[in-house]
Amino acid sequence: MDKKHSDLLFRFLLEIPVAFQKEECQSYVGNQKVARIMNEKTDVKQGTLALMVLKTLDVLGPLHGYGIARRIEQISGDLLFVNQGTLYPLLLKLEQEGSIESDWGASENNRRARNYSLTKTGRRQLQGEVQEWQQTTEIMARFLSAKAEELQ
């Protein structure tokens, strides 16, 4: 998938209504059955957060840490939870590796915030990781859709 299509997919994911990602479940309060909407968030899987951060910065441009976390959660349809205790050490690591750079600026609330942006090294890293993940997901899709008749 080239960058143009990858960016289009990423932007499309931003547009998916959160309602599609929520699940209705039944619970009881006393003897009364109550329908409610559940939206349980899960932590980001190990090894995927760096890719999500790099892709977010690639598509949306410079953002502060909190903004990166909220965008990742938004793109996932609020199914993922980005732990701040995991995000900020990762941002520091990516900056030390030269994949991102930061500078101080103002947030949307006019508060002092460190804004992160992608570097050329980060773009190359992103391209490599995207290719690896695409290959991995294609392989996994083959396994998940395999039927016994097809393997004989």
Residue 2: predicted pLDDT: 59
Over residues 51-76, mean pLDDT: 94
For 45, residues 6+ apart whose C-beta sits below 8 A from its C-beta are: none
pLDDT at position 7: 57
pLDDT for position 108: 78
Strands (E), 6-150: 23-29, 32-38, 42-43, 63-64, 80-81, 100-106, 112-118
Percent pLDDT > 70 in the chain is 70
User: Mean pLDDT over residues 39-65, rounded?
Assistant: 85
Residue 79: name the closest of 118, 33, 48 by CA. Answer: 48
Domain boundary assignment for the chain: 3-18+40-141
Q: What is the pLDDT of residues 103-119, one digit of tens each?
A: 998 877 888 999 999 99
Judge whether residue 152 has pLDDT over 80.
Answer: no
Among 15-19, 106-110, 145-149, the range scoring the smallest mean pLDDT is: 15-19
Task: State the pTM of this model.
Answer: 0.69
In the predicted model, is pLDDT for residue 120 greater than 70?
yes
Let me know: does 100 contact 116? Beta carbons within 8 Å: yes
Which CATH class name applies to 3-18+40-141? mainly alpha
Closest of 134, 123, 129 to residue 57, by C-alpha: 123
